[in-house]
Chain A
Amino acid sequence: MNHSLPTSIGSAGSYHYFAVLTACFTFLLIVAGALVTGNEAGLSVPDWPLSYGSLNPPWEGNIRYEHGHRMVAAFVGLLTIALAVWVWKKETRGPVRKLGWIALGVVVAQGILGGVTVLWYLPAPISVLHACLAQAFFCLVVSLAWLSSPAWERRVRDRSPGLPLNRLAMATAGAIYLQLLLGAIFRHTQSGILPHLLGALLVTLLAGWLIARMFLSPQASSGLTGAATLLGVLLALQLLLGLASWLLRLAAADAVQPEFPVVAVTTAHVAVGALLLANGVILALQSWGVQAGERRAESGLPATPVNP
C-alpha cells in the first residue's frame, strides 16, 4: 500500500471550495439519477444527446426527471472540466494532480454510458455500470475536496506507514462501494436480494469494527468520536431506509405506476448510500493522519490533534 501522499496542499486550497461545490452538485446528480430510475423515466426521452431533438423539450410527465437529470449532468460535466483545469494549474502533488484528470475522464465516460443506456433501452449491465460509476465519480470529487482542504493539511502532516486502522478504513470504504454495486444489481436486474443483504452485513460488521476502533483509539478525541458517530448514524439510517424501501417495494408489487413513498424512500436510500461512501472514503483518507497520531502517542510524543 502506498502511503506516500504529499501532505502540503500548497496553493491547492484555492480550488477547495470549488471542489466542494462540484461534490454537492454531484450528490444532487446522484439523487436526480435515482429519481429517474424510481419514476421509470429512463426512456421517457428516446433520443440522446439532445432531448426530443432539442435542448428544451416539453417539460411534461417523466421528461422532467430525465431531462432534469441530463441538465444537472451537463452542469456537473462543466464544473468537472473547470475543476480538472484548476487542479492541473494549482496542484503540486502529483497523485492529486492526476485525480482531476481521472475525474474528468470518468465524468465523460459516465455521460456516454448515460447515452448508451437510452439508445440501447436500459440494458441492465450498462445501467448498473452507470450507477456505480456515478458513485466512483462522487468519491473522486469528494477526495479532491478533502485533499485540498485545510483539515487535510492539519491532519496528515505527520505521515506514517499503514497500520490496521488504515486498512480497516480502506476495507470499509471498499465494502460500502461493493454494497452499492450489489444494490444497483438488485435494482436494475430484479434479481434476488440475498447478495445485497449479505453486503449490508459485511458493511455493518466492518463499519462497526471501525467505529469501535475509533472510539477505543488512544487518540479518541471529540473529532474522532464525532467521525465515528457520523459513520454510525449514516449506517443506521441506511439500514432503516433499506428495510423500508424493501418493504414498500413488496407492498407496491401490484402498483400500476411508481408510487411516491417507494420513490422517495428508495431515492433516500441511494442518497444516504452515497453519503456513507463519501464518509468512508474521507475516513480512509484521514486514517493516515490518525495513524500518525497513534504512532506518535505510542512513542511518547505529543499526539497530533485529530479533529475530523
Chain B
Amino acid sequence: MMRLTNYLCLPVALLAALFAGACGSVDIDEEGMDEVDGTEAPTVVTRVDPATAATVTGKVYFEGDLPRARRLAMDAEPACAGLHTGPVYSEVVVPNDNKTLQHVFVYVKEGLEGMMFETPAAPAVLDQKGCIYLPHMLGVQVNQPVRILNSDPTTHNVHPTPRNNREWNESMAPGIPPKMKKFPREEVMIPVKCNVHPWMKSYIGVLSHPFFSVTGGDGSFEITGLPPGEYTLEIWHEYLKEGVTTQKVTLAASESKSVEFTLKQAS
C-alpha cells in the first residue's frame, strides 16, 4: 500500500522537487502511520506480576569455521580513521573465545499473543561514534522513541531500509541535535545504513513486547519478566542463518530456564 501511494505521488514529488526543492526535508515522523493490519489489537496492557515473572537465559554458540574478520577500510576517510588508534574490524561476525557469538538478536517469537505491553517512554539510543554504529544491534518496542546521535566530527546519513515500516534517509552533520524516531510496526530486523560511509551498518529489531535481548561479549543473553507460559524463542544473525535458530521453552511461575542455540555457515 505504501509503495502504491509512493508511485501515485510521482507528480507531486516531481513538482515539489523541481519548484520547492524541499522534498529532502519532508517530515517523515512515523507517528501518524496506519495500523499494522486489520487484526484486532488488545486494548488492555498486560501487567506481569514480578512475583511470578520467569526468566530465560542462554548462549548462542557457533560451530564450524567462520569467515575471517574483515578490516574496515577507513583510510580514505581521515575524519573516521583518525578516531581510531588501531585497525577496526567489521562487526558482521564477531566470535567470542568460548565459541559463542556476539550480536545475535534473541526474541520471543510466539507465546505472547493476545497480550499488550506498555511502550517505554525512555528512548533507545543509537550512536554514530568512530564511524561505526553503537550498538551494532538494537532492540526496541513498537513506537518506542529511538534517539539517534552523531558523536563524530564528520557528516553521516541515517538510512533504515525496512520492509514493514516507512523508509527514510536523513543527514546528520557533526554537532547536530539528536534525532528522535519511532517504528510503528513490528519488524525483525531493520537494516540501518550510512551511505556516506558504506561500511556502517546496524540492525534494529522492532517488537510489540519487551522480551528480547542481544548477545554480548560472552555470547549470553537474558530475557526477564516473562509471564508463565509456553514460548518459542528465535534468534537472528545478520550473516549466519543455519543451525538451531528456534527453541520452545515452557516457563512456570518464577522459573528460570537456560537454552542454547547454535549457528553455522551455510553449507
Contacts and interface: CB of A to CB of B under 8 A. Distances in A.
B170 A119 contact: no
B224 interface: no
Contacts of B92: 254, 256
Contacts of B197: 61-62
25 contacts: A39-B198, A41-B195, A41-B198, A43-B157, A43-B169, A46-B169, A46-B171, A47-B171, A48-B23, A49-B17, A49-B18, A50-B21, A50-B24, A58-B173, A62-B195, A63-B196, A119-B17, A119-B23, A119-B24, A254-B67, A254-B70, A254-B92, A256-B199, A257-B73, A257-B198
Contacts of A52: 155, 171, 173
Nearest to B239: A254
A55 to B, nearest CB: 11
Give the contact-size bracket for chain B: 35 or more
| Interface SS majority for chain B | loop
Contacts of B23: 47-48, 119
A45 to B, nearest CB: 8
A121 interface: yes
Interface of A: 39-50, 52-53, 57-58, 60-63, 112, 115-116, 118-121, 254-258
| Interface SS majority for chain A | loop
A62 B6 CA distance: 26
Contacts of A121: 159, 161, 167, 169
A79 B126 CA distance: 45
Given A43-B195, A47-B25, 20 more contacts: A40-B195, A43-B159, A44-B195, A47-B21, A49-B18, A50-B24, A60-B154, A61-B196, A63-B155, A112-B18, A115-B17, A116-B10, A116-B14, A119-B24, A120-B6, A120-B13, A121-B169, A256-B201, A257-B72, A257-B199
Nearest to A46: B169
A42 B195 contact: yes
Contacts of A39: 198
Interface string B51-80: 000000000000000010010110001011
B90 interface: yes
Contacts of A49: 17-18, 21
A27 to B, nearest CB: 25
A116 B35 CA distance: 27
Contacts of A50: 21, 24
